[in-house]
Structure formats: structure tokens, C-alpha cells
């Protein structure tokens, strides 16, 4: 699992082995980006790590880095992240019937446990696309300051799901592939709770605290 978390003015990126429950590598950078992802993956490969799969939230720089450094490695898109972002874009109370129906469909995404569930879910989504095809193609007036399409947020969710579908169900064929990065996010929360007890540290001392925390956590 690969994921990053932010601490105000810098980012901690962790490379975590889900089988061993061990942090293989971590680094502090300004923000997630293609160059640092690529260099980190190259370090792991040079160290002899046999990476069978990667689970991440789909950060574009990481996707490109994996394609270059590990072109034959399965890259599982975090299914919870896709669901969470879809629900954020749609809002809690969509104004349109299309938005309300799509929200119901996306709320089922984390409950896919086998290929029959996958097939049924994809059918629901495709049926939704067909039903609301004309609605989603509605455009604003050329004189409007709004975006070209009227239902931008709903279209945004449709694009997110379609872009994710090819890489979102690898876990169904191999139960050792994590379907989400939730395991890392919970560890990030615990780290941040520990850091809060040391409020007032300078930026460099906060970085040192985080790196030493990770070292002792997984090497003690």
C-alpha cells in the first residue's frame, strides 16, 4: 500500500507491506509528485523487493511512476477512495434524480465481495448511464459564465468511476491484494495523535519526530 498524509507544510509518504504489516520505506517530501514516487519505487526495486501489487488512491504522479518502474505490477485503485470522492462530489442531498440514483449506486461500491457482485454493480452503473445519457449531455448557454455542461459534478463522478473501473477489482482475484489504503490511513491517524502531544515543535523537529516514530514503530 502506498499513501501520503499531510502535516501542514510537508507530506509523509509511506510504502507499507500489507502481508508483513511492516513499513518498508517512508520519506518526507513537500507534496506528492511523480519524481519522488519514481525515485522511491526505484529504491525499493534496487533493494530486491518483490512487489506483486500496489494499492493506492490513484494519485496521477504515482500512476505514471508505477507504469515506468513496475509496468507488470497490478495497481489496485483504492475502492474506498473512489467511493468517498464520488459521495463528496455528489453532496449529501443531490438536487437531481440522476444524482440521487448515482449516490445510491456508489454507496454499494464497498460491498462487492465476488465477481457476481461486481457484475451486478457494473450493470446498475451502466443502466444509470443509459437512463440519464441525455440529461448528462445538457449544456449551459454559451453566454453563461458556468462550465460547459450543466451537471458538472455528476459528470465528474461518472468520469471518476469509468477511469477507475479497469483497476478497481483486482482484489477479487487475489485476496492478498488490499482493496483500499484504509490500513495505512488508520496508522496515519495514530501517528498524528502522538504528534499532537508534542505541539510547539519546529518544522525540522516535527520531521525528525515522524521519522523516528516510524523507525521505532516498525523496528523495535
Do 114 and 66 sit in the same domain of this protein?
no
Confirm whether 171 is domain-assigned. Answer: no
The verdict on residue 172 lying in a domain is no
Q: Are residues 57 and 87 in the same domain?
A: no
Do 89 and 162 share a domain, yes or no?
yes
Domain for residue 116, yes or no?
Answer: yes
Is residue 102 within 8 A of residue 128, CB to CB? The reply is yes
In a domain, 186, yes or no: yes
Model-wide pTM > 0.95: no
Query: pLDDT tens across 66-101, in order?
Result: 999 999 999 999 999 999 999 999 999 999 999 999
Are residues 138 and 91 part of one domain?
yes
Beta partners for 55? 76
What is the C-alpha to C-alpha distance for residues 83 and 63, in angstroms, rounded to an integer? Answer: 19
Number of domains in the chain: 2
Distance between CA atoms of 190 and 80, rounded to whole angstroms?
A: 19
Specify the CATH number for the domain of residue 202.
3.30.420.10
Q: Is the pLDDT of residue 114 over 80?
A: yes
Per-residue pLDDT at 149 exceeds 90: no
Query: Are 53 and 101 part of one and the same domain?
Result: no
In a domain, 155, yes or no: yes
Same domain, 87 and 140: yes
Residues 6+ apart with CB under 8 A from 45: 51, 69, 70
61 burial type by CB count under 10 A (0-12 exposed, 13-18 middle, 19+ buried): middle
- Domain-located, residue 174: no
DSSP-assigned beta bridge partners for residue 14: 3, 26
Q: Are residues 20 and 93 in the same domain?
A: no
pLDDT in tens, 162-214: 999 999 999 999 999 999 999 998 899 999 999 998 888 999 999 999 999 99
For residue 145, pLDDT over 80 is answered with no
Whether residue 187 is found in the same domain as residue 162: no
Q: Are residues 64 and 88 in the same domain?
A: no
Q: Tell me the CA distances in angstroms from 89 to 54, 98, 166, 171, one per residue in order.
A: 26, 13, 21, 25
215 lies in a domain? Answer: yes
Nearest to 105 by CA among 166, 181, 160: 160
Is residue 86 located within the same domain as residue 162? yes
Domain boundary residue, one of 139, 166, 193: 166
Q: Could you tell me if 70 and 99 lie in one domain?
A: no
Parent domain of 123: 82-166
**Digit-coded pLDDT (tens) for 20-69:** 999 999 999 999 999 999 999 999 999 999 999 999 998 999 999 999 99
The verdict on residue 173 lying in a domain is no
For residues 102 and 157, what is the distance between their CA atoms, to the nearest angstrom? Answer: 9
Residues 90 and 162 in one domain: yes
pLDDT score of 146 more than 80? no
**Which long-range contacts (C-beta less than 8 Å, at least 24 apart) are formed by 96-100?**
96/135, 96/151, 96/154, 98/128, 98/131, 98/132, 98/135, 98/136, 98/151, 98/154, 99/151, 99/153, 99/154
Amino acid at each position: 500500500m502506498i499513501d501520503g498524509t499531510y502535516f501542514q507544510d510537508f507530506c509523509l509518504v509511506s510504502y507499507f507491506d500489507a502481508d508483513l504489516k511492516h513499513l518498508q520505506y517512508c520519506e518526507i517530501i513537500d507534496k506528492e509528485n511523480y519524481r519522488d514516487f519514481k525515485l522511491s519505487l526505484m529504491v525499493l526495486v534496487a533493494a530486491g523487493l518483490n512487489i506483486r501489487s500496489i494499492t493506492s488512491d490513484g494519485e496521477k504522479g504515482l500512476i505514471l511512476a508505477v507504469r515506468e518502474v513496475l509496468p507488470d505490477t497490478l495497481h489496485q485503485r483504492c475502492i474506498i477512495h473512489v467511493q468517498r470522492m464520488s459521495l463528496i462530489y455528489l453532496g449529501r442531498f443531490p438536487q437531481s434524480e440522476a444524482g440521487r440514483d448515482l449516490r445510491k449506486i456508489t454507496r454499494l461500491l464497498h460491498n462487492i465481495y465476488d465477481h457476481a457482485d461486481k457484475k451486478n454493480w457494473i450493470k446498475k452503473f451502466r443502466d444509470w448511464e443509459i437512463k440519464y445519457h441525455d440529461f448528462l449531455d445538457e449544456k449551459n448557454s454559451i453566454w453563461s459564465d458556468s462550465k460547459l455542461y450543466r451537471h458538472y459534478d455528476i459528470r465528474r463522478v461518472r468520469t471518476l468511476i469509468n477511469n477507475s473501473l479497469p483497476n478497481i477489482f483486482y482484489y477479487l482475484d487475489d485476496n492478498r491484494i488490499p482493496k483500499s489504503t484504509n490500513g495505512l490511513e488508520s496508522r496515519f491517524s495514530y501517528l498524528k495523535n502522538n504528534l499532537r502531544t508534542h505541539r510547539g515543535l519546529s518544522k525540522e523537529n516535527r520531521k525528525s519526530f515522524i521519522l523516528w516514530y516510524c523507525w521505532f514503530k516498525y523496528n523495535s
